[in-house]
Amino acid sequence: MSMLREFRDFAVKGNVIDLAVAVIIGAAFGKIVDSLVKDLIMPVIGTVTGGLDFTSKFVVLGSPPAGYAGPMTYDALTKAGVPLLGWGNFVTIVINFVILAFVIFWMVKRLTAAKAKLDTAPAAPAPTPEDVLLLREIRDSLRK
């Protein structure tokens, strides 16, 4: 029973729950970044470079199977089992990573600045000790 109790204590700790939430949000954020790169950035890069679509850029490393009459596209050749070097997809994933890393850097920088601003806020004065209050009462009563 003690192992179950230890596991429960571990799973309920705040850090584990925070990590689980971060992983879930990170996965959703990764999809947003993928869409940003695929649907917004890469079409602009393709337009600037004259219609270049990085996701369809690859090098065929082997020959298609005998009798293959399908299209010579990345998806079709991959499904046919042809070894490919998909450098265009790699470039797209690197762009995803750079954007994601920049956004996380920016968020951490902002959170650090906000935390520093909160930490530098003046702290409430400590309550006056009772002995000092008692001495002040004695002083004030002697003045009368």
Q: Look at the block and give the residue holding tokens 């090098």.
A: 59
Question: Is residue 108 a part of any domain in this protein?
Answer: yes
Question: Is residue 31 a part of any domain in this protein?
Answer: yes
Question: Is residue 136 a part of any domain in this protein?
Answer: no
Token digits of residue 82: 């042809």
Q: pLDDT confidence of 121, banded at 50, 70, 90?
A: low
Residue 38 identity (one-letter amino acid): K
CATH number of the domain that residue 44 is part of: 1.10.1200.120
Long-range contacts of 96-100 (CB under 8 A, 24+ apart): 96/30, 96/33, 96/34, 96/37, 99/33, 99/36, 99/37, 99/41, 100/29, 100/30, 100/33
Question: Is residue 96 a part of any domain in this protein?
Answer: yes
Q: pLDDT confidence of 2, banded at 50, 70, 90?
A: confident
**Structural domain boundaries enclosing 118:** 2-122
Mean of the per-residue pLDDT values for the chain?
83
> The pTM is what?
0.55
Residue 128 DSSP label: P
What is the total count of domains within the chain?
1
The answer to whether 55 and 87 are in contact (CB under 8 A) is no
Question: Is residue 138 a part of any domain in this protein?
Answer: no
DSSP for 3-53 reads HHHHHHHHHHSHHHHHHHHHHHHHHHHHHHHHHIIIIIIHHHHHHHTTS--
- The tens digit of pLDDT for each residue in 72-119 reads 888 888 889 899 998 988 888 888 788 878 888 888 899 888 888 877
Q: pLDDT confidence of 130, banded at 50, 70, 90?
A: very high
DSSP 3-state of 84: strand
Question: Is residue 135 a part of any domain in this protein?
Answer: no
Q: Look at the block and give the residue holding tokens 């971060």.
A: 22
The more confident residue out of 138 and 6 is 138
